[in-house]
Structure 1
Amino acid sequence: MTDTMRAIEITRAGGPEVLQPCTRPIPQPAAGQVVIKLAYAGVNRPDALQRAGLYAPPPTASDLPGLEGAGEVVALGAGVDSLSVGDQVCALLPGGGYAEFVATPAAHCLPVPQGMDLRQAACLPETFFTVWSNVFMRGGLKAGERFLVHGGSSGIGTTAIQLARAFGARVFITAGSDDKCAACTELGAERAINYREEDFVEVLQAERGADLILDMVGGSYLPRNVRALADDGRLVQIAFLTGPKIELNFAQLMTRRLTITGSTLRPQSDLAKARIAEELRSKVWPLLDAGTVAPVMDSEFAMGEAAAAHARMESSGHIGKIVLKIA
């Protein structure tokens, strides 16, 4: 290993053009960490929010964007005995994924699923940690329940569809085009709602309401989500693409026994993320090994084309995951 590496940094808050190549020191592993030589890194909405100055990294995290990736372990910190140098892994990252090397807790690394290459594996951690922790651990989705996920063609959405179906739920999605709706039904959605042409509230009310809704839109969707829920239903909020503030009649929560909750992944403790990783290893990774569930790939960009990758993501024209090829 040399002393320096290529990376993409955020030069200032702004649009995709503020992502620029740079040279940084190769990180060293702290106790409990590993250093991974990345082959691919996933591109996610939180990266764009950080780039825009709206999602600051935790104080101990790298200022470089990138919250997931896959590659080869090249260094071990003190106390790491679960991995070895040379292991191929995918990992949830505290930041720093837009670079040739990254340090992350060993407990946040998972093996590359059988039959899957590093390009596909790089798309797993951020979305699978997010979906599993919010839909199953926090939202408590059960077999037979009606599950509505907004943004069904996104990386989060395509993952949520597959996992919900694999565990026996009935899946409903919203998306903004017929092509996106068709892609979601192919993945297992029972009903795909083109939100430009149909009202998801009416569709779900005709089905006696959703038991669980996963939303990343926010804004005007919040009161509509409440109306779309069945009695005793749960709403899990993971982002606010159209804003976090809205007038909402909370009396409905009491009279219909509704639950509104939510979370963000990055600020959670290393221990909390390690617990999610263990559940994924035991309950979800066998599905990936068997090919029952797989990431949906949209496009690949060279690391130096990170700005174009962000423009693709923010155009909302993609279906599934966007990756950067690091090496």
Structure 2
Amino acid sequence: MKAVYYDGAGGPEVLRLRDVPAPVPAPGEVLIDVVAAGLNRADVQQRRGAYPPPPGASEVPGLGVSGRIAALGPGVAGFRPGDEVCALLAGGGYAEQVAVPAGQVLPVPEGVDLATAAALPEVAATVFSNLFMAAGVQAGESVLIHGAAGGIGTMAVQLVRAFGAVPMVTAGSRAKLEAGRGLGAAVLFNYREEDFVARVRDASEGRGVDVILDVVGAKYLMRNIEALAAAGRLVVIGLQGGARAELDLGLLMGKRAAIIATTLRARPAEEKAAIMRAVAEHVWPLVASGEVAARVDRVFPLAEAAAAHEYFDSGDHVGKVLLAVAPA
């Protein structure tokens, strides 16, 4: 089969399409003929040499795919060859086939075409596990979402709104803020022109926000804590602004606030399976009804993965960038 590898660390030019042996599903795994794969920030970090795959995971990038089941490993029940599915991966998505634990595979939601479904599993699992399972977002609470125009951000805005909470967003351009507004964001801040801490205080009459979903990390750490309300929760899922920062524990304790820092990729298969079950129960019905939708910006052929990364790096996208691997 054909698969994309990184020929060293660097920019999009290090991506190479190779012919490699097809995977064989192990016990408890399914083999998927990939139709489309999603690009993620983790793929870029891996390309730059900053985020290696977990032990035992494929070196091929790609954390979410859609496609059809080609074969079942020993002990797998509930699926049949030919089923249209999407899956959460620890790696291996930029390929014509991938083997994945069955617990990380879900049927494509009703009403979603097979290629578009590749935009769903990684972002839905990330957002639901962090905001609702870890941070416990409740109806009526306010949630500040940094980077609201990406795949994670566009899904987060929709789910926060769908569960009765109030989404606030930051983005770096008018167009991206308007995209957030169109998805249901109630309050919008341009981080290039405004101090989001001051704006949050104004919007909340000095109270602050209940939950912050942050992809920036160190650069925003203290400003995020300043923006939190009493008993607020800061959920850090990315380090685009660095990994090391000083923390004022007095401010954190005074607010009785919590910092939750998580990754999804390296979690044990059992934890990922539990998250995917929760996604199937709570998110898939919203997708099937049309209340929540996968936002796809552009689709590139697998052979043009380098061009897809170049576009992703530009920051111009709103929603997911996908790789088309096979006809849907």
Partner of 2:321: 322
Partner of 1:218: 217
Partner of 1:81: 77
Equivalent residue letter for 2:316:
G
Contact 2:157 2:183 in 1 (8 A): yes
Work out the CA distance in 1 between the residues paired with 2:80 and 2:219.
49
Partner of 1:294: 293
Match of 1:31 among 27, 31, 50: 27
Work out the CA distance in 2 between the residues paired with 1:247 and 1:264.
21
Work out the CA distance in 1 between the residues paired with 2:149 and 2:48.
23
Matches within 5 A, 1:71-220: 71-206=67-202, 207=204, 208-220=207-219
Work out the CA distance in 1 between the residues paired with 2:180 and 2:115.
22
When structure 1 is superposed on structure 2, of 152-161 and 57-66 the one drifting more is 57-66
Contact 2:67 2:115 in 1 (8 A): no
User: What do the CA deviations read for 1:45-91 (whole angstroms, capped 9, x no partner)?
Assistant: 10111111111112211111111100000010011011111100000
Equivalent residue letter for 1:277:
M
**Aligned Cα RMSD in Å?**
0.8
Equivalent residue letter for 1:258:
A
Q: Give the CA deviation at 1:166.
A: 0.2
The 3-state SS of whatever aligns with 1:91 is: strand
Partner of 2:242: 243
Q: Give the CA deviation at 1:244.
A: 1.2
Work out the CA distance in 2 between the residues paired with 1:256 and 1:59.
38
Partner of 2:226: 227
Contact 1:82 1:106 in 2 (8 A): no
Work out the CA distance in 2 between the residues paired with 1:86 and 1:69.
15
Equivalent residue letter for 2:143:
F
Contact 2:34 2:66 in 1 (8 A): yes
Match of 1:50 among 33, 46, 59: 46
Contact 1:145 1:169 in 2 (8 A): yes
Query: Are residue 258 (structure 1) and residue 257 (structure 2) matched?
Result: yes
Q: Give the CA deviation at 1:14.
A: 1.1
Match of 1:10 among 6, 13, 35: 6
Work out the CA distance in 1 between the residues paired with 2:44 and 2:128.
22
Contact 2:64 2:88 in 1 (8 A): yes
- TM score, norm. by length of structure 1: 0.98
The 3-state SS of whatever aligns with 1:159 is: helix
Contact 1:134 1:262 in 2 (8 A): no
Equivalent residue letter for 2:2:
R
Work out the CA distance in 1 between the residues paired with 2:41 and 2:255.
33
Work out the CA distance in 1 between the residues paired with 2:217 and 2:184.
25
Q: Give the CA deviation at 1:315.
A: 1.1
Contact 1:14 1:53 in 2 (8 A): yes
The 3-state SS of whatever aligns with 2:61 is: coil
Q: Give the CA deviation at 1:162.
A: 0.2
User: What do the CA deviations read for 1:131-170 (whole angstroms, capped 9, x no partner)?
Assistant: 0110111111000001000000010000000000000001
When structure 1 is superposed on structure 2, of 196-205 and 173-182 the one drifting more is 196-205
The 3-state SS of whatever aligns with 2:201 is: helix
User: What do the CA deviations read for 1:287-311 (whole angstroms, capped 9, x no partner)?
Assistant: 1111110011110101011111111
Q: Give the CA deviation at 1:262.
A: 1.5
What are the ranges of 5 or more consecutive residues in structure 1 without an aligned counterpart?
none
Equivalent residue letter for 2:229:
A
Q: Give the CA deviation at 1:220.
A: 2.3
Q: Give the CA deviation at 1:219.
A: 2.4
Identity %: 51
Contact 1:212 1:235 in 2 (8 A): yes
Equivalent residue letter for 1:227:
E
The 3-state SS of whatever aligns with 1:133 is: helix
Q: Give the CA deviation at 1:250.
A: 1.0
What are the ranges of 5 or more consecutive residues in structure 2 without an aligned counterpart?
none
Q: Give the CA deviation at 1:30.
A: 0.4
Q: Give the CA deviation at 1:248.
A: 2.0
Q: Give the CA deviation at 1:94.
A: 1.8
The 3-state SS of whatever aligns with 2:283 is: helix
